[in-house]
Amino acid sequence: MAADNFFNSTRLRILLSILVCCLLSSLPVLAAYDDSYTVSVYQPRMTKTEFSNVTREGALALMNRHILNYEVRAKEAARRKSQILVFPEYGLYADIKDFTRDSIENFLEIIPDPKVNITWTPCDLENTTDDITIQRKISCMAKKNKLYIVANVGEREPCVFNYNSSCPMDGRYQYNTNVVYDPKGTLVSRYRKKHLFHEPYFNTPRVTDHQVFNTPFGKFASLICFDIYFQYEIEELKDEGVLNILFPNMWFNIPPLFLSVPLHASIAWASNINLISANLIMDEPQGVTAYRTGGSGFYSGMSGEFSYSHVPGLLTANMTNIKYHTHSRFEKVPKRKTPVRGNQTVHNPIFADILFYTIELTDYSGNVSVCYDSTFCCGLEYEFELPINDSVSYWLGVANTFNIDACTVFLGNQTLGMIPVDKDFQRAKFKSIRLFASDFDTPFVFPQVIVTNRETYEVLDPISYYKNGEIYLSHTSPLHSMSLLNRDYHRIPVSISHRTISSVLLVIAMLVLSLLHI
Ligand SMILES: *[C@@H]1O[C@H](CO)[C@@H](O)[C@H](O)[C@H]1NC(C)=O
Ligand SMILES: *[C@@H]1O[C@H](CO)[C@@H](O)[C@H](O)[C@H]1NC(C)=O
Ligand SMILES: *[C@@H]1O[C@H](CO)[C@@H](O)[C@H](O)[C@H]1NC(C)=O
Ligand SMILES: *[C@@H]1O[C@H](CO)[C@@H](O)[C@H](O)[C@H]1NC(C)=O
Ligand SMILES: *[C@@H]1O[C@H](CO)[C@@H](O)[C@H](O)[C@H]1NC(C)=O
Ligand SMILES: *[C@@H]1O[C@H](CO)[C@@H](O)[C@H](O)[C@H]1NC(C)=O
Ligand SMILES: *[C@@H]1O[C@H](CO)[C@@H](O)[C@H](O)[C@H]1NC(C)=O
Ligand SMILES: *[C@@H]1O[C@H](CO)[C@@H](O)[C@H](O)[C@H]1NC(C)=O
Ligand SMILES: *[C@@H]1O[C@H](CO)[C@@H](O)[C@H](O)[C@H]1NC(C)=O
């Protein structure tokens, strides 16, 4: 059959168009979104000074100080042509001490489900008697500045207590909630934090509702702080076609494993998503009860472009939309033989309640290892750029905490949240360095490499150093730390979306049917 005849066949053309249609509908993120969008996050700085035992009017007055500040930021974000602005977790009341379940109640509002009340626009409800002062202000802020606003607020939902219900005895659920208002001031998403982190005054929602929302510049959803630590939350969102995740948080910096920026960048990279993080800088004057928080940024997992800041203020970036469904970068890690344990002295420092087993890198070069309770070992092959002397001290460490096995190399004796400034920077460089584990149980490995330039640190794109569960770098900049975190999940995320599989099956089925009819 000649090619012309072949393509002129009407049947075939119908068949082809069915095929094209099916293929199009099977690609989850092929909708007509803009290529990129401009987004701002606001990173405030606060100190705990106020008490929580106030009336509703008192609570509103306390929150209003921050709302006034939000309004200034929203105006500036609009001036920078931002289409979306994200405020951090606890942004309206992080400075308030001693919340209890009762004392936080005055900071909460009843917020309808935008899936039910689909055009709820508090800014237009001038004469409402409902107690929605904060919602009205955020809604008006979005409307006035014509942008999407993501704010973390406290939510109250009345319920009827009886012994068979999950309703608390005080007759209300209290949630840590993200609200999103669109440029008309209409509520488009109400997401309740699922993985609370030492927040006894809030309830865990009974059902997970991601409350995905569409904009002309992409499909979005939000997560809150500790939620991001649970990879299946991200995989579920990806299965719904969400590749842009907005992330209000108040993340506690716990070096060397859990610094906000490197960890969030690593999660975005491993998951192949755009992650937009709004963190809050909390000064703890006593420094006893908590550790410093802070570090916000824009992490493009696909390209490895990360921009971030530890300075308070408004940050703005252009994000490129990821155009198609991207698989996460998890793969099974082969077992490796770690070097034989030498006779180095093993130390047991405790950073932020986390016990480490560490050895010091005392030689110019070497192959060393350290093990955790004989369950798993971390190996390191390294050579310094210059002969070492006492001015620089690096440690190889291993830890097991928060459901991770971790291997880490870090500079000096790190104090919490602080970037060590070494006396002899040239000696903090490696000619080559390879970090690996004897055995990672799961494919969920999150790599981080942080180099430093005295003032601040830089997070490297894992593409440049990570492969098959190991970190390898040559001729490094001065190294702050490098880590491999292996997360042990109780639930295995789906790596290929069910939708993709079923669409492929559908295409095949239609093809077979059409051929039978020819
Ligand atoms: C709130 O509690 C603090 C600390 O317990 C106390 O000093 C303060 O007087 C209380 N304020 C009010 C208005 O009750
Ligand atoms: C939400 O919609 C329901 C049904 O229309 C209505 O009864 C309710 O008052 C609305 N809630 C709010 C807060 O607007
Ligand atoms: C609110 O009430 C005022 C005064 O009663 C009235 O003029 C105005 O039209 C009302 N606004 C709306 C949106 O109903
Ligand atoms: C609670 O459940 C028990 C057993 O399932 C049942 O006997 C009882 O009637 C229920 N009580 C209420 C208030 O629903
Ligand atoms: C974003 O892109 C626009 C248009 O190219 C440019 O004018 C603006 O400076 C960029 N903003 C940032 C924060 O990079
Ligand atoms: C380790 O053993 C070797 C060989 O026995 C010895 O030369 C070296 O000094 C020992 N190192 C330490 C830190 O004890
Ligand atoms: C470390 O092991 C590598 C191979 O795994 C080897 O090439 C190198 O010579 C070893 N280095 C030292 C200092 O033993
Ligand atoms: C380490 O070497 C540097 C320069 O090579 C020198 O200035 C410094 O004094 C040395 N430090 C120690 C503790 O030997
Ligand atoms: C870290 O520094 C503190 C105080 O300077 C010291 O007590 C501690 O032993 C050091 N830890 C390590 C692992 O060097």
Q: Is the CB of 432 under 6 A from ligand 7?
A: no
What is residue 416's predicted lDDT score, i.e. its pLDDT? 39
Q: Is 90 exceeded by the pLDDT of residue 294?
A: no
Q: Which atom of ligand 5 is nearest to the CA of 316?
A: 13
Whose Cα sits closest to atom 13 in ligand 5? 317
Average pLDDT over residues 365-380: 93
In a 13 Å sphere around the CA of 428, the CA atoms on its Cβ side amount to 24
State which H helix or E strand residue 512 sits in: helix 498-517
Picking from 203-217, 386-400, 480-494, which range would have the lowest pLDDT averaged per residue? Answer: 480-494
Beta bridge partners of 410: 395, 481
Ligand 5 center to 82 CA (angstroms): 10
Ligand 3 center to 125 CA (angstroms): 9
Ligand 6 center to 343 CA (angstroms): 6
Round to whole Å and give the CA distance between 195 and 320: 29
Q: Tens of pLDDT along 476-488?
A: 998 989 999 999 8
Split at pLDDT 50, 70, 90, the class of 165 is: confident
Ligand 7 center to 366 CA (angstroms): 7
Picking from 239-243, 385-389, 476-480, which range would have the lowest pLDDT averaged per residue? Answer: 385-389
What is residue 393's predicted lDDT score, i.e. its pLDDT? 84
Identity (one letter) of the amino acid at 303? S
CA dihedral 375, 380, 381, 383 (to 10 degrees): -160
Number of residues that this document lists for the chain: 518
Identity (one letter) of the amino acid at 508? I
Whose Cα sits closest to atom 11 in ligand 2? 112
- Ligand 9 pocket test: pick from 356, 413, 414 the residue with the most ligand atoms within 8 Å of its Cβ: 413
CA terminus-to-terminus distance, the chain: 15
Average pLDDT over residues 368-380: 93
CA dihedral 201, 205, 210, 211 (to 10 degrees): -80
Picking from 10-24, 69-83, 274-288, 335-349, which range would have the lowest pLDDT averaged per residue? Answer: 10-24
Q: Which atom of ligand 2 is nearest to the CA of 110?
A: 13
Q: Identify whether the C-beta of residue 110 lies closer than 8 Å to the C-beta of residue 157.
A: yes
Q: Is the CB of 391 under 6 A from ligand 9?
A: no
Identity (one letter) of the amino acid at 247? F
Output the CA–CA distances (angstroms, integers) from residue 44 to 70, 178, 265, 405, in the order listed: 10, 17, 20, 33
Place of tokens 């490499």: 449
Domains of the chain, residue spans? 34-320, 350-487
Round to whole Å and give the CA distance between 511 and 19: 7
Q: Is 70 exceeded by the pLDDT of residue 432?
A: yes
Round to whole Å and give the CA distance between 20 and 5: 20
**Tokens matching residue 375:** 């369950």
What is residue 19's predicted lDDT score, i.e. its pLDDT? 47
Q: Is the CB of 367 under 6 A from ligand 7?
A: yes
What is residue 413's predicted lDDT score, i.e. its pLDDT? 60
What is residue 31's predicted lDDT score, i.e. its pLDDT? 63
In a 13 Å sphere around the CA of 461, the CA atoms on its Cβ side amount to 12
Q: Which atom of ligand 6 is nearest to the CA of 362?
A: 13
Place of tokens 């994000």: 319
Q: Is the CB of 4 under 6 A from ligand 3?
A: no
Q: Identify whether the C-beta of residue 158 lies closer than 8 Å to the C-beta of residue 192.
A: no
CATH code, residues 34-320: 3.60.110.10
Round to whole Å and give the CA distance between 466 and 459: 13
Q: Is the CB of 75 under 6 A from ligand 9?
A: no
Q: Identify whether the C-beta of residue 499 lies closer than 8 Å to the C-beta of residue 239.
A: yes
Beta bridge partners of 275: 245, 299
What is residue 490's predicted lDDT score, i.e. its pLDDT? 58
Picking from 8-17, 289-298, 314-323, 474-483, which range would have the lowest pLDDT averaged per residue? Answer: 8-17
Residue from 459, 54, 514 nearest 266 by CA: 459
Whose Cα sits closest to atom 11 in ligand 4? 164
Per-residue DSSP letter, 321: P
Beta bridge partners of 296: 309
What region does 353 belong to: left with phi over 0, alpha with psi -120 to 50, or beta? left
- Ligand 5 pocket test: pick from 35, 38, 217 the residue with the most ligand atoms within 8 Å of its Cβ: 38
Q: In this structure, what are the phi and psi dihedrals at residue 461, rounded to the nearest 5 degrees?
A: -70, 120
* 3-class DSSP state of 161: coil
Largest Cα–Cα separation, the chain: 85
Picking from 264-278, 337-351, 421-435, which range would have the lowest pLDDT averaged per residue? Answer: 421-435
Ligand closest to the CA atom of residue 391: 8
Q: Is 70 exceeded by the pLDDT of residue 232?
A: yes
Q: What is the pTM of this model?
A: 0.86
Q: Is the CB of 435 under 6 A from ligand 5?
A: no
Identity (one letter) of the amino acid at 257? L
